[in-house]
Amino acid sequence: MNDSITDGLTDSQKAAVEHVDGPLLIVAGPGSGKTRVVTRRISNLVTNANISPRSLLAITFTNKASKEMAERVRELLPDVRVWVSTFHRFCARLLREYGEVVGIKSTFSILDSTDQKQMIRLVMNDLDYDTVHYAPNKVLWRISNAKNDLITPEQYATRFEESIGDHWQAVVAKVYPAYQKRMLESNAVDFDDLLMHTATLLTENPELRKQLGERYRYILVDEYQDTNLSQYQIVAALAEHHGNLCVTGDPDQSIYGWRGARIENILRFERDFPAAKTIRLEQNFRSTQSILRSADALIDHNQQRKQKSLITDNEEGESVQLLCFPDSREEAEGIATKIRDLVDNEGYAWNQIAIFYRVNALSRQIEMALMRNRIPVQVAAGVAFYDRAEIKDLLAYMRLVENPADATAFLRIVNKPLRGLGKTSQNRLVRWAAINNLTLIQAAARAGEVPKLSKRAVFGFKRFAEMIESFSLADAGSVADLLLRVVEKTRYTAAWEGSYDEADTEKLANVEELVGAARQYDEAIGDERSLQGFLEQTALVSDTDWIDDKNGQVTLMTLHAAKGLEFPVAFIVGVEEGLIPHERALKEGDRREIEEERRLLFVGITRAEKRLFLTESRIRSMHGRNVPTIQSPFLRELECERLEFGTDGFINDEQWRQPTHDVSKLADIPAMPKLMTGAALLNGEKTAAEIPTGFGIGMRVRHPRYGIGVVTELSGYGGRRTVTVNFSDDDRTESFIAAKAPLQPV
Ligand code: ATP
Ligand code: MG
């Protein structure tokens, strides 16, 4: 027995590590060593049970977690390389190998949400659906839910075609099959497809299931509480023959219900695998007693949970502090001051400190304040980086080189930079391509045959097709060089070079960063580099991927991204009603949603090892508006010491401060009427006198929470007049009672 593998483990941790064959469930609270056990268990399987590392399949929730787990194993066993992956990466790899069975070629593209939106618009235009009335996001959301529940387009269509009660279903019943058909024609998949195709592949092919079962003889899944139905089916199919499946999870940390995750998957494990051994880990090694008490008291308010307490031998520690500020500018400055103090006087290092928030919109102000105070800072925003227009454009070129069928990529860049190929010409090409069963790039090469195209457009399309054809990884030698060639040949950055405009310099810096990422990829992968490999890495990025633990910076990230991580000091910003719990949950008035919000705060709290600070601000600036806030009802449920900063005497009335929702009794109150979040409502009443009753379609308005939007629809009369607005920030569509809506024309 190799000692180092079980060194310093508790008896129950040791039992989990030394377990070899058969199903194993490890359920335990945060910081109890679940992830550590999985890592040690891998090492034990290889060293003591003589299992080949190639027979192991370990799945974590993020790329960062995968990388860390692989590194930990290597520390214990320097010669061993295990492949640790996320579900999406694993599925992508499997589909490259076996995708033909479900109709996709190995060069398939992976579309992100922005690409998806473009694709769905294309499909809805084809079907003559009004994308103003039927917001693409809402259609996509329903398609995504269907996919997560493994409902195929055909099944959806038969089930809901005649749908009378819900006209959305009838729309989706038409759009979903058409969308999926387009995706296959483009040889493209979205994130949900990666899972759904793999689940289908496995459930429908017993031979393949057997073969893969033999390849992956031991399967380990961390954070199992956040798996959805597709992921569940994939795991179940792979483990069918041998049952060597070890999962770890904590139902109290399930925070991806909105993406189709099902807590039941962990709760039903023992039923699905009757031979399962269950191990509970009771001891928390991460946090102080006072942090744990707070976490425990909070989560105890969830009714749908099994009672479990966290115990620790750690010290009592400092009390959890709630820092209250008059406005968000002072809050950001206050956090910076506190951090300086922690570093200068209490011996903490920058990289031991993290700041979490519920929504990304909160990060900018804090980031700026830290920079003003010369505090080094990194924001975990990998996804946002790859969603920037210039990055998406360049990657679209690369995608088109790899997968010439990719229609979304083609349409994104065919006229970028401008080549005189406007929408009308594009539409003519698209239609002609469809009639003749050609990909868009094939059609572009034969543009001369397309009816009604101007000479200029014919020339433009042909040149474009030739240019794309001229790019190849083999010629360029490396992904980074190919990228540079694309930039050069398209003169993509020409307009920004030498500019003093900050937006332009930022774009240039981003392009450089992308080239840098490509270089890193080239170097890391060496001779086996492929365009596909690089594109996959960029498509499946998660927010925390680029976080560098060692470079001495304070880290900012969303509460969702913080899952599984730990920091000596944590701040949770904006613990206010409408943020946490998020107003969406309040609006639904659904206990399940509120409980998920409570779990999210619980996850945040339990990241902290030594010091935990919650903050709230009496006035919150977001989307260019100042809104008076209301305390989060969760604050009443946990133990903390309240500290006031800079009272301004403006809003001191206790009534402003009290939560308007008693979330512990949610089931007893009727569902919230739309938009009755406290802050917005108060604001609406205050400004009611200034609100014009006359809204017009196309009018630009500003909402205190949702930002700038455009009025898309008006209906009803008098007191029931409803105005519908599409907000550009996140393409969300909301309806309001006109007389009460806190909407300001801009
Ligand atoms: P989460 O639910 O938040 O993902 P977890 O259960 O996965 O938490 P780990 O991250 O594995 O917990 O462990 C929490 C911390 O406690 C880590 O720093 C880990 O190294 C440490 N730890 C775990 N077990 C022990 C032990 N037996 N002795 C000392 N430290 C331990
Ligand atoms: Mg963990």
The answer to whether 116 is a known catalytic residue is: no
User: 669-684 pLDDT, tens per residue?
Assistant: 333 222 222 233 223 3
CA distance from start to end of the chain: 71
Res 671: pLDDT: 31
Do the beta carbons of residue 58 and residue 69 sit within 8 Å? yes
- The minimum-distance atom of ligand 1 relative to the CA of 285 is 16
Atom 1 (ligand 1) nearest CA: 30
With a 6 Å cutoff on the Cβ, whether 34 touches ligand 1 is: yes
Q: Count of CB atoms within 10 A of residue 649's CB?
A: 6
213 is in an annotated binding site: no
With a 6 Å cutoff on the Cβ, whether 10 touches ligand 1 is: yes
With a 6 Å cutoff on the Cβ, whether 319 touches ligand 1 is: no
> Which ligand sits closest to the CA of 606?
1
35 is in an annotated binding site: yes
Compute the distance from residue 564 Cα to the ligand 2 centre, in Å. 4
> Which ligand sits closest to the CA of 282?
1
pLDDT exceeds 80 at position 690: no
- The minimum-distance atom of ligand 1 relative to the CA of 37 is 11
Res 357: pLDDT: 96
Secondary-structure breakdown of the chain: helix, strand, coil percentages, each rounded to the nearest 5: 50, 15, 35
Compute the distance from residue 35 Cα to the ligand 2 centre, in Å. 4
Atom 23 (ligand 1) nearest CA: 33
Do the beta carbons of residue 157 and residue 177 sit within 8 Å? yes
- Which residues lie below 8 Å from residue 577, measured CB to CB, with a gap of 6+? 583, 586, 629, 630, 631, 632, 633, 659, 660, 661, 677, 678, 679
Give the residue with greater pLDDT, 658 vs 130: 130
| pTM for this prediction | 0.83
User: 10-38 pLDDT, tens per residue?
Assistant: 999 999 999 999 999 999 999 999 999 99
The answer to whether 128 is a known catalytic residue is: no
What average pLDDT does the structure give for the chain? 88
The answer to whether 159 is a known catalytic residue is: no
- The minimum-distance atom of ligand 1 relative to the CA of 250 is 2
Of 68, 115, 222, 327, the active-site residue reads 222
The answer to whether 222 is a known catalytic residue is: yes
Of 117, 147, 209, 607, the active-site residue reads 607
Compute the distance from residue 250 Cα to the ligand 1 centre, in Å. 13
Task: Give the 3-state secondary structure of 530-570.
Answer: CHHHHHHHHHCCCHHHHCCCCCCCEEEEECCCCCCCCEEEE
Closest to 625 in 3D by CA, of 533, 701, 514 = 701
- The minimum-distance atom of ligand 1 relative to the CA of 10 is 27
Give yes or no for a cis peptide into 177 (omega within 30° of 0): no
pLDDT exceeds 90 at position 535: yes
Res 676: pLDDT: 25
DSSP 261: B
**Across the strands, what pairs with 278?**
25
Res 245: pLDDT: 96
Buried b (16+ CB within 10 A) or exposed e, 475-512: ebebbbbbbbbbbeebebbeebeeeeeeeeeebbebbe
Compute the distance from residue 30 Cα to the ligand 1 centre, in Å. 8
Neighbours of ion ligand 2 (CB under 5 A): 34-35, 564
Q: What percent of the chain stands above pLDDT 70?
A: 91
The answer to whether 200 is a known catalytic residue is: no
Res 685: pLDDT: 31
Compute the distance from residue 34 Cα to the ligand 1 centre, in Å. 6
User: 166-209 pLDDT, tens per residue?
Assistant: 778 889 999 999 999 999 999 999 999 999 999 999 999 999 99
With a 6 Å cutoff on the Cβ, whether 249 touches ligand 1 is: no
Res 168: pLDDT: 82
Beta strand 321-327 with 641-644 is parallel
pLDDT band (50, 70, 90) for residue 585? confident
With a 6 Å cutoff on the Cβ, whether 14 touches ligand 1 is: no
With a 6 Å cutoff on the Cβ, whether 564 touches ligand 1 is: yes
pLDDT band (50, 70, 90) for residue 258? confident
